[in-house]
């Protein structure tokens, strides 16, 4: 079904390229500039690699590496030179791109952000990671939800980042908002391999959605990322899986029109529909209440586990971060960011 990795593209197909980018070590602004150029060069490689490719996807941490350094001198801005270079690369190579930045936040810790840029150099989707990988990551929790955008060839795209994918609610939200392809970018290392695979497959099957996921790859001299690019069919079956060769681009064609067909015609496995229409054989339209205690408590601000007091790790001190002294209050989001 993947058409030799997208070489034989169907009229309704979208060809994805997942870049198992070599893990960099970025410390200085000069390092950041050099890595920006490396990513732009890989955009050009992707276009040369496969003329049918519609969207090239770079992993989380592809620009900054895994140091968790929050130094303002190497943080990015949406109007900064790094994002501008990505826009130009997409436009010059006539290809959509998905990119990762650690974004300067004047009101707190930086955001771990993702961008989808179209082949005209326009930002079509902007996302802030909702679930930083605690207690390891210092990033501010995202506050703009999970956006969905129109993608190439009439597709609908969503983007989540790394640990986000361990929460089934994330993929459900993507599909609920209409996404047909859920991109998951990551910097994971080898101990995560099994959970990476099963969550990518389960997220696809439970929501009738393609999942397209990729990690950083190789070593920076300290950390070893695993690559493991994979594109999963909407029935949970892997279409293509990568290994751990740095800078390899894993490709496949996906068919959003078949997602739409399955969501319309499938019954037994139309899980996302059934979730809101429980027992529709017995009662007209199914039960449409919310029987889930954790959802109600979360909405009411009362989310609390039965073993809440026994949880050991509740801040980042085990990984060298100070205990935070501010409560989460969100922030006013500009209309430009919302768009």
Residue positions annotated with a catalytic role: 60, 129, 162
Q: Which residue has the tokens 């029109």?
A: 257
d(CA 169, CA 125): 20
CA dihedral sign, ordered 107, 108, 110, 113: negative
Confirm if 12 and 151 have CB atoms less than 8 A apart.
Answer: no
d(CA 74, CA 27): 8
**How far apart, in Å, are the Cα atoms of 200 and each of 12, 150, 186, 250?**
23, 22, 12, 15
Confirm if 89 and 97 have CB atoms less than 8 A apart.
Answer: yes
Q: Given phi > 0 = left and psi -120 to 50 = alpha, else beta, which region is 53?
A: beta
Structural tokens at position 67: 């140091």
Strand 55-57: give its sheet, edge to edge: 123-128, 111-117, 96-103, 55-57, 14-20, 248-254
Confirm if 21 and 39 have CB atoms less than 8 A apart.
Answer: yes
Confirm if 223 and 192 have CB atoms less than 8 A apart.
Answer: no
d(CA 273, CA 167): 19
d(CA 155, CA 256): 6
Cα torsion at 53, 58, 63, 67 (round to 10°)? -160
Strand 156-161: give its sheet, edge to edge: 148-150, 156-161, 181-186, 210-215, 230-232, 238-241
DSSP state at residue 65 = B
């Amino acid at each position: 079904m993947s058409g030799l990795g997208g070489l034989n593209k169907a009229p309704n197909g979208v060809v994805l390229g997942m870049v198992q980018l070599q893990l960099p070590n970025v410390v200085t602004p000069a390092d950041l500039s050099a890595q920006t150029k490396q990513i732009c060069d890989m955009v050009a490689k992707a276009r040369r690699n496969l003329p049918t490719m519609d969207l090239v996807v770079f992993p989380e941490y592809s620009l900054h590496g895994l140091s968790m350094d929050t130094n303002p001198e190497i943080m990015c801005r949406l109007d900064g030179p790094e994002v501008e270079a990505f826009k130009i690369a997409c436009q010059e190579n006539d290809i959509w791109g998905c990119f990762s930045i650690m974004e300067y936040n004047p009101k707190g810790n930086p955001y771990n952000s993702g961008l989808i840029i179209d082949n005209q150099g326009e930002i079509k989707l902007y996302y802030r990671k909702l679930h930083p990988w605690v207690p390891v990551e210092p990033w501010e929790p995202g506050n703009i939800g999970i956006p969905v955008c129109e993608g190439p060839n009439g597709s609908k795209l969503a983007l989540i980042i790394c640990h986000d994918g361990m929460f089934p609610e994330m993929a459900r939200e993507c599909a609920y908002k209409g996404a047909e392809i859920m991109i998951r970018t990551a910097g994971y290392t080898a101990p995560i391999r099994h959970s990476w695979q099963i969550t990518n497959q389960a997220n696809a099957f439970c929501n009738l959605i393609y999942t397209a996921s990729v990690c950083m790859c190789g070593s920076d001299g300290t950390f070893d990322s695993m690559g493991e690019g994979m594109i999963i069919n909407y029935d949970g079956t892997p279409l293509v899986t990568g290994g751990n060769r740095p800078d390899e681009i894993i490709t496949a064609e996906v068919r959003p029109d078949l997602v739409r067909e399955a969501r319309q015609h499938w019954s037994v496995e139309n899980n996302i529909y059934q979730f809101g229409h429980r027992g529709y054989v017995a009662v007209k339209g199914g039960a449409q209440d919310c029987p889930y205690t954790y959802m109600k408590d979360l909405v009411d601000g009362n989310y609390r586990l039965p073993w809440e007091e026994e949880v050991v790790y509740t801040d980042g001190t085990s990984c060298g971060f100070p205990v935070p002294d501010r409560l989460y209050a969100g922030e006013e989001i500009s209309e430009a960011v919302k768009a």
